A and B are shown apart, each in its own frame.
Chain A
Amino acid sequence: MLGKGIVLGLAETARNFFGSFFYRARLTTVQFPEERLPQIEAARNFPFLVFDGADWQQGMRCVACQICEKECPPKCILIEKSKDKKPDATGKPQFYPAVFNIDVSVCMSCQICVEVCPFDAIKMDVDFELSTYDRFGGLLWDKQRLSKSNEHYHQIHPTEAAAVDAALAAEREKLAAKARAANAPPANAAPSTSAPATAEGQA
């Protein structure tokens, strides 16, 4: 019968329409700005620099090795290495980035900077509301704006952050053990060096 297909199709549409009043599965939309979907843990949007402790300048993990700058596919990272060294979170003197800029408008959220970073210093944030009225300054983020605490990292990617912290703690433990072996007698050095590392790991 001509028109049967159309009627069947309309019945399907009606089923979905009326069903949306009764079944959550048929109502697939949310009222976005007021209502938000739960954050998916693995999501990534834009990189940030992790710092340990309370002071972002003091605890910044980045040592300005410039690997991410070289590997970044659209070349949106600009790093200038510092002239002097400052102690990092573990107290070891390291270079730090005097300038660390990322251009939001160029970054394509590919996560390659995160993958190549040997210091776990750069990670992906999940914040996606980055639009601004200022085309130049507002889209070129400097290191202060990029810095976010390790607690923030734990908040957005708990599983990944815990794994990173455990790996870092293990590495510090290994370094401490090596230092102990080098500095004979090792008896009294052990507890004092390993204590901050474990405290870090639980942060």
Chain B
Amino acid sequence: MTSMTTAELERQQAEMGFDDGASHLLEVSMGPQHPSTHGVFRMDVVLDGERIVKLKPVFGYLHRNHEKIAESETYLGSMPYTDRLDYLCSLTNNWGYALAVERLAGITVPERAEYLRVIVAELTRLQNHACLIGFLLQDMGASGTPLMYAFRERETILDLFESLTGARMMCNYLRFGGCRVDATPEWLRQAQQAVEAFPKFLDEYEQLLTGNEILVARTQGVGLLPKDMAVQAGITGPTLRASGINYDVRKVDGYGIYDRFAFRVPLGEHGDVFDRYMIRLLEMRESIAILRQALREIPAGPVQDARTKLRGFRPKPGEAYARIESPKGELGFYLVSDGSANPYRYRVRPPSLINLTVLEEMCLGRNVADVVVTLGSIDIVMGEVDR
């Protein structure tokens, strides 16, 4: 199936000065089973030799109408479904949804639960960024080693998630007004250990990769995203900050208790793939700073607001929009209630999808191999793109 008609292709060829009647442009469908496309993502690419002339992303291979499902679920029933949006970061997805419901119903969260949320969210960010760098290097052809090193570190964090929430990836841990179970002192000690061991891994990773001439040659100046285009296209998260825009929802909204922690927002300068790679490394170091503070200061107390019912939850009619800084970008949840037990409208603002808006502009004129690297540096998960 092609997205371009023959007439369009011929017209484009004529525009480019090929008028000898022979076809010079080649239309290639990259995906949906391409190993480097992070799941079932397809790009209709028009090539002039190796050069990209046109690139149209095609979505929907993993579409399951998450939003429609949520309309027939109770508010609680949608919580496990949010795990499956960005399946690498289920805990931040939980938080986004819980925050939206809490804004909708005016629920307060106990202190200890806020700290636990920060801890699990920052651990999620650590493992997501570690994975992303592994995948990015995998896309670049460094098959195996960097990804396996990242997975080794991710494993310790997933073990922490499993012993706290019961599941490694589909955690379903947060509840409206708190968290499902409390963390034991033993768990907090293990988390502390994992956090203290992490900078060593980052140093090792930097030693392995950052100075590597092949990595530098493949990433610097590739996939440029200028500042104004990034803002205009609603790019969020590390991809935006790599272009030099200081916009982190943790700082801007200060949701939860993020305004209590001292951390910096790393910014890029050029907006190329290398900056996006470095931003992730630097953000992991900032996450470690947040985790250290949170693990030191976590107070005792309940982890669940006692007034919030688990079953039969019916918020009054109205609406609320809440957003958080997920590892991929700004994850928003928009809820409209009509007073019944099911949300009237439930909307996810998927950062992965919207960060793909200007993929074409970032790739035009580059080689096919650069498309793969650029896509890898944006950090998408198809579960969230297609919902």
| A116 close to B310 (CB less than 8 A) | yes
Interface 9-mer from B30-38, B74-82, B118-126, B244-252 = B74-82
| Chain B at the A interface: SS class | helix
Q: What residues of A have a CB within 8 angstroms of the CB of B215 in the complex? A: 5
A69 to chain B, nearest CB (A): 12
**A12 touching B208 in the complex, CB below 8 Å, given contacts A3-B213, A42-B165, A108-B80:** yes
Interface assignment of A40: CB less than 8 Å from any CB of chain B = yes
Selected contact of A44 from candidates B81, B166, B310, CB within 8 Å: B166
Interface assignment of B164: CB less than 8 Å from any CB of chain A = yes
Q: What residues of B have a CB within 8 angstroms of the CB of A166 in the complex? A: none
| A43 close to B166 (CB less than 8 A) | yes
Interface assignment of A124: CB less than 8 Å from any CB of chain B = yes
Give the interface size class of chain B: 35 or more
Interface residues of B in 280-323 (CB under 8 A from A): 310-311
Q: What residues of B have a CB within 8 angstroms of the CB of A41 in the complex? A: 163
Interface size on A, residues (CB 8 A): 29
Interface residues of A in 1-34 (CB under 8 A from B): 2-6, 8-9, 11-13, 16, 28
**A9 touching B170 in the complex, CB below 8 Å, given contacts A40-B163, A115-B310:** no
Nearest B residue to A17, CB-CB: B145
- Among B163, B181, B204, B213, max chain A CB count under 10 A is at B213
Interface residues of A in 113-139 (CB under 8 A from B): 115-116, 124
Selected contact of A6 from candidates B80, B152, B155, B214, CB within 8 Å: B214
| B212 close to A5 (CB less than 8 A) | yes
**A28 touching B167 in the complex, CB below 8 Å, given contacts A73-B80, A116-B311:** no
| B145 close to A13 (CB less than 8 A) | yes
Nearest A residue to B184, CB-CB: A159
Q: What residues of A have a CB within 8 angstroms of the CB of B74 in the complex? A: 71
Selected contact of B76 from candidates A16, A44, A71, CB within 8 Å: A71
Interface residues of A in 33-76 (CB under 8 A from B): 40-44, 67, 71-73
Nearest A residue to B160, CB-CB: A40
B48 to chain A, nearest CB (A): 32
**A43 touching B162 in the complex, CB below 8 Å, given contacts A28-B152, A71-B74:** yes
CA distance A9 to B216 in the complex (A): 13
6 closest A-B pairs (Cβ-Cβ)?
A5-B211, A110-B80, A44-B166, A73-B77, A5-B212, A12-B208
Between-chain CB contacts (< 8 Å), 8 pairs: A5-B213, A6-B212, A9-B209, A13-B208, A16-B149, A73-B73, A110-B79, A110-B172
A contacts, CB < 8 Å to B: 2-6, 8-9, 11-13, 16, 28, 40-44, 67, 71-73, 108-112, 115-116, 124
